[in-house]
Structure 1
Amino acid sequence: MKNYVHSIALLILGCCLLGCSATTVVSEKINGVSFVASRDTLQQKHIIPLLEIHADYAAIMPFGFVRDKNHPELHFNSNRQWFGERYEGVKQYIELLRENEIKVMLKPHIWIWRGVFTGDMKMDSEADWVLFENSYEEFILLYAQLAEETHADLLCIGTELFNFVDQRPDFWKQLIKKVRATYTGKITYAENWDKVDRVAIWEDLDFIGADAYFPVSEAQTPTIEDALAGWKPHKKLLASLSKQYSKPVLFTEFGYRSADYAGKEPWASDR
């Protein structure tokens, strides 16, 4: 969810997970990390750990900020932001990663003051929605342009914005058309694990993007068998979505901590 623990992005094999008759179309597995921005330029010493764990992708995350979940002003690409959170820094990060043969998913995020969950964002009026949509479109198209310029391999056009997507589908459909007119690569959207089956725009995208913090066990120390059993209903759901839309599923975020009850609420990072 809103707290970003160590994460990986990977493709799962759609319908074939459950032995469906359809043949998988996925030939590449993505092993990636969410690469958190810093105050300064990216250096080679920061990339070495990625190479050591054989990561072949990194999600780079520029940020836009809003004051609260009902406020229509989105602020981004400001000199008040950390270097790695704005256009200049994102470009430098991507270029150095690609020099190291690490592919990139460019994944713009919204941060609401005090960490309020972005999925709850909801404007109070039509006028506020339009103001917010105009600034969000500017935000995404700026980074779509950068994704094209830097030959980024994937572009994620939103992260955990369920109310926004659910209530304003026409906006998102026209945004996708504008993004495709700017960026020629593959695009996705990242929805939280508990809403991934309720997104109305999957048919317009190249991947079904899941922030895959699925609960798998309530045990303090789950066994491998516990975890495998806990994954079964989630695999069934994801395979069904993949079959429904004839698209592969991309884990746009994923992670379980080394902690007690890690499988119970994987999104929680307040302890």
Structure 2
Amino acid sequence: MRNVLITFICVLICSCAATVPIPDKINGVSFVASRDEVAQEHIDPVVNVNADHAAVMPFGFIRDLESPELVYNTQRQWFGETSKGAKQYIEMLHKNNIQVMLKPQIWIWRGAFTGHLTMKTETEWQQLERSYAGFILEFAQLAQETNVAMYCIGTELNAFVSARPKFWSDLIIKVRDIYQGEITYAENWDTFANVPFWDELDYIGIDAYFPLSDEETPTLEALTKAWQPHKEEILKVHRKVDRPVLFTEYGYR
């Protein structure tokens, strides 16, 4: 099974009040898709680390950074990457009292970075928008049907977000027409401040791979000092848009 638990989700409790109720803490993991259905033995590690949330991540695929067509829910995909698989994972997690964030993501062939996805023409942009909206709205329906706690409408798509902000605002409205829970978007650590629609969401979602040290064994003091400018940048965005911060992924090298 490839359902390795690799990343955590947490909420930063910021100093000023937010318009969205903030839970005391979210202890979350990413529940990675596998080829097969999951059984209780695959959920037990999530329970054993005292997680109360898990991110379930179905996938859509794009040929390259300039392709406007997104392919998903195919027979060639792993079970956990499809809507059928995501539903089974969600049901198993819910049976164990673990709340779920459904987080559909894009994989670009050969692992190209999704943040660089961009089109050359207006026609191609419109094709990408139609394809991506279909992907996100289909999984929004699954999020509603399975009563997940949160829904993430995108992950690390900075060029797409920057070039087509109106599309994203319209997409948020369409998602809310389908899904009644809380929604977020997950942006990379170095571009999260550029997202123009944080105030239209319930959380500021950050994939928090902030660089802190090049040393093999840095001291706690060095890490604490290195974290401060990142913390200030996060607080700056939080205060500007009045939304709580969710680490949709995090890790350090």
Whether TM-score is above 0.5 comes out as yes
Q: How does 1:166-181 map to 2 (within 5 A)?
A: 166-181=162-177
Match for residue 240 of structure 1?
A: 236
Name the CA distance, whole Å, in 2 between partners of 1:94 and 1:227. Answer: 36
Percent sequence identity over matched residues? 52
Name the CA distance, whole Å, in 2 between partners of 1:111 and 1:254. Answer: 19
SS at match of 2:8: coil
Conserved? CA contact 1:5–1:255, under 8 Å: no
Conserved? CA contact 2:5–2:29, under 8 Å: no
Name the CA distance, whole Å, in 2 between partners of 1:255 and 1:43. Answer: 27
Residue number among 172, 184, 193 corresponding to 1:197 in the alignment: 193
SS at match of 1:216: coil
Q: How does 1:218-233 map to 2 (within 5 A)?
A: 218-233=214-229
SS at match of 2:137: helix
| Dislocated runs of 4+, deviation >3 Å | none
Q: 1:224 Cα shift?
A: 1.4
SS at match of 2:184: strand
Conserved? CA contact 2:64–2:112, under 8 Å: yes
* CA deviation vs aligned residue, 1:18-53 (integer Å, no higher than 9, x gap): xxxx34653331111111100000110001111111
Match for residue 11 of structure 2?
A: 11
Name the CA distance, whole Å, in 2 between partners of 1:53 and 1:123. Answer: 42
* CA deviation vs aligned residue, 1:94-119 (integer Å, no higher than 9, x gap): 01100000000000100000000000
Q: How does 1:205-220 map to 2 (within 5 A)?
A: 205-220=201-216
Q: TM-score, normalised by structure 2?
A: 0.95
1:182 paired with 2:175, answer: no
Match for residue 19 of structure 1?
A: none
Match for residue 29 of structure 1?
A: 25
Conserved? CA contact 2:51–2:98, under 8 Å: yes
Conserved? CA contact 2:144–2:178, under 8 Å: yes
Match for residue 39 of structure 1?
A: 35
Q: TM-score, normalised by structure 1?
A: 0.89
Conserved? CA contact 1:155–1:188, under 8 Å: yes
1:121 paired with 2:117, answer: yes
Conserved? CA contact 2:100–2:150, under 8 Å: yes
The amino acid across from 2:73 in the alignment is: N
User: Could you list the runs of 5+ residues in structure 2 that have no partner in the other structure?
Assistant: none
* Residue-pair matches, total: 248
Q: CA RMSD, aligned part only? A: 1.3
